[in-house]
Amino acid sequence: MKARTNKFVLRSPRDADALWGVLKCWSGQAEAGQPLEVNVGVYENTRNADQNRMLWRILTAFSQQIEWPINGCMQKISKEDWKVILSASFRAEMARLTQTTDGRIVMLGVSTSRMSKREFTEFIEFLLAVAAERGVVLELEESGTKPKEIEDGKTIEATRNDSGNWEYEAA
């Protein structure tokens, strides 16, 4: 059974009072064999809705424009498959492989939902660089809207270079 957890982000004295209410009861839990684990650190916001929409626009462009080798055969793959490939490339991690219950091998993905806003911004910038390298044309904006923010005041600009290829840059 998974332990019940409470997450407290302290933004006001009221939040601290709520945490203190939990901490006051810890000794009873500890005596009952259920000690309390406390982690303290600086809170970082996670990605916002604009960043998430931008991620899926980029992944959709990859899925529509690039073929990738799967089982030795070049083919277009889903945006979800691109997310697994590109997030693993971004983290520069060795692939984590596991076995299914019937013995097949699968690769485990990297979670982007747990990335901080700053790390997710770096991930979007990485995706833009890979898109530019591979000639992926991105439609990052809905028609008639301003460039999307990817982090406090940071937006994406697309320009064509001397070779006629698209270059994307966070500005």
The two three-digit tokens of residue 150, written as one number: 């990817």
- Considering all CA atoms of the chain, what is the largest pairwise distance in Å, rounded to the nearest integer? 71
**pTM of the full predicted structure?**
0.61
pLDDT at position 78 is 96
Using one digit for the tens of pLDDT, what is the confidence trace for 128-159? 999 999 999 887 665 443 444 455 555 566 55
pLDDT at position 38 is 78
pLDDT at position 31 is 82
Using one digit for the tens of pLDDT, what is the confidence trace for 21-31? 888 877 777 78
Q: List alpha helices for 24-75, DSSP H.
A: 26-31, 49-65
Do 123 and 83 touch, CB atoms closer than 8 A?
A: no
Helix/strand/coil for 130: helix
Residue identified by tokens 């991620």 is: 55
CA dist 92 and 119 (Å) reads 14
Q: How confident is the model at residue 16 (pLDDT cuts 50, 70, 90)?
A: confident
What is the sign, positive or negative, of the torsion defined by CA atoms of 102, 103, 105, 110? positive
